[in-house]
Amino acid sequence: LELEELFFVGIQEDYDRSLERLAGLLEWKDFPVFHHNQTGGYADSVSPQEREQIRAWNSRDVALYEKALEMNAKGKWTP
């Protein structure tokens, strides 16, 4: 299954906009607004070297995520 075959892919970091796009695709007149938790203000305990190792271990996931970001930016899932 390829990303291009999917009806919709949302981006977590752009949750509100993704929800608006989904509502448009589904032609929802009104849809509930969900408030989500925002975590922040804590120190990052992962070193740059550890972060790079994790990225390498997850290279296929990273590639999929980056492709979804690119397609999203180009309006793939925009009504």
pLDDT in tens, 35-67: 666 666 556 788 999 999 999 999 999 999 999
Could you tell me the pTM of the whole model? 0.72
Every domain of the chain and the residues it spans: 1-30+47-79
Longest dimension (CA), the chain: 47
pLDDT grade, residue 2 (50/70/90)? very high
Q: Which amino acid is at 76?
A: K
